[in-house]
Amino acid sequence: MLRQQRELDSALDLERADLRLHDVLRLGAYQLRFLSRVPAHAAVSTSVELARATVGERVAGYVNQALRKIAAKAPKDAVGTHPEWLVARWTARFGENETKRLLSWNDSKPELIVQPARSYPRSLICEFRERGIWAEDAPFGTGVRVQGVPKELPGFAAGDFIVQDPAHALVARFAGIPAGQTVYDACAAPGGKSVILETLGARVLAGDARLERLGRLKETTRRAGVAIRCLAADLEAAPIRSGSVDAVLVDAPCSATGTIRRHPDARQRLHPAVFARSAQRQTRLLEAAAPLVRPGGLLIYATCSLEPEENEQVVERFLTGHLEFRRAATDATPAELLTPAGDFQSLPQRHGIDGAYAARLVRAS
């Protein structure tokens, strides 16, 4: 429903409807337009009952009439599943063919991919297959791809794995934190990158300013059985002494245009001004992180955005104002995932994984 929301909204007269009915109407219209296995009368009846439960008896007739109109008339020409301005933006950057592939990727059902925590890829694949669940190596040798969406995966409760797209595990590998060194994962929730960093040998201090997400961070690290210290802390006021950590990972909040496939509602929340506004916050976070890194230490900046304003442009501005930092090369990443400047960049339409970006910066000794 979220993927097709633009078309559904164009068919529904939502301006006249109670705001609480919008999703009820969208669900009913989606069943009528896109689910052939649901009889029209059943879709309408179910939506009417949902409307009664949500708003009351007085809206039942309105919902019944609105959906019967949808069922009776032929669909209009498709309006597209993404905002037109975003499609135009991507077309100008990637070209028409690549943009079509990106839109198709975003509109497809995401795969389930897991990363080993207490287990190993081959062990997970064997265990899944023994339970009748087909599994194979994920792209770029990062994790295990599971076919379909099984109701239960053996080993989840025991912490054998975490659910994470290869792009985000690859960012942790790209960081290249030497084993035994301490890294402050400053925007850590829900904790996937922290777990991967720890399994690669780093000592991790994981913090997040969003208290509502701290519980999930703690649960992820507890289940995975990793020795990670968690704290509630805003990076811009972190309780860490300057120059005291070997590395800082700033996995910055962003527009998340690289993960629209997994978060289909994100496309509805975007607008043209969001990238510049996000970049301002991202710049502040990098500025706050820089003093915490010891001489010779690493500063890793990452997003799940496809947009230059949130990625390389943020890094270039930072480097212009901080001559004590420079990019540091790594050989832990396939060449096809590196930009000309040496940063990490995965693009869904080219690489078949989530979109993500990361820059690896070293502070002068």
Place 176 in a pLDDT band, splitting at 50, 70 and 90. Answer: very high
**Residues 56-73 pLDDT 10s:** 998 898 999 889 888 887
Q: Give the CA count within 13 Å in the CB-facing half-sphere of 220.
A: 24
Residues 47/27, Cβ–Cβ less than 8 Å: yes
Please report the DSSP string for 291-347 in residue order: GGEEEEEEEEEEES---GGGTHHHHHHHHHH-TTEEE---SSS-GGGB-TTS-EEE-
What are the structural domains of the chain? 5-72 (no CATH), 112-163 (3.30.70.1170), 166-363 (3.40.50.150)
Please report the DSSP string for 39-66 in residue order: -HHHHHHHHHHHHHHHT-GGGHHHHHHH
- And the tokens for 12? 């529904």
For residue 76, what pLDDT is reported? Answer: 63
- Judged against a pLDDT cut of 90, whether residue 210 lies above it is answered with no
Distance CA 317, CA 310 (A): 11
**Residues 8-36 pLDDT 10s:** 988 888 888 899 999 999 999 999 988 88
Distance CA 50, CA 54 (A): 6
Q: Which of 150, 11, 28 is nearest to 75 (CA)?
A: 11
- Judged against a pLDDT cut of 80, whether residue 79 lies above it is answered with no
Mean pLDDT of 268-284: 95
Highest mean pLDDT among 41-55, 221-235, 335-349: 335-349
Give me the catalytic one of 187, 230, 254, 304: 304
**Residues 214-253 pLDDT 10s:** 888 999 999 998 889 999 999 999 889 999 999 999 999 9
* pTM recorded for the entire structure: 0.88
- Judged against a pLDDT cut of 90, whether residue 150 lies above it is answered with no
Q: How does strand 293-303 pair with strand 356-363?
A: antiparallel
* 143 Rama sector, left if φ>0, alpha if ψ -120 to 50, beta otherwise: left
Instruction: Establish whether 126 is a catalytic residue.
Output: no
Distance CA 257, CA 267 (A): 8
Percentage with pLDDT > 70 across the chain: 99
- Judged against a pLDDT cut of 90, whether residue 125 lies above it is answered with yes
Higher-pLDDT residue of 33 and 311 is: 311
Higher-pLDDT residue of 14 and 296 is: 296
**Chain position carrying tokens 């201090």:** 205
Residues 207/235, Cβ–Cβ less than 8 Å: yes
For residue 151, what pLDDT is reported? Answer: 80
Mean pLDDT of 112-117: 95
Q: What are phi and psi of 303, to 5 degrees?
A: -145, 170
Please report the DSSP string for 170-184 in residue order: HHHHHH-PPTT-EEE
Q: How does strand 293-303 pair with strand 245-251?
A: parallel
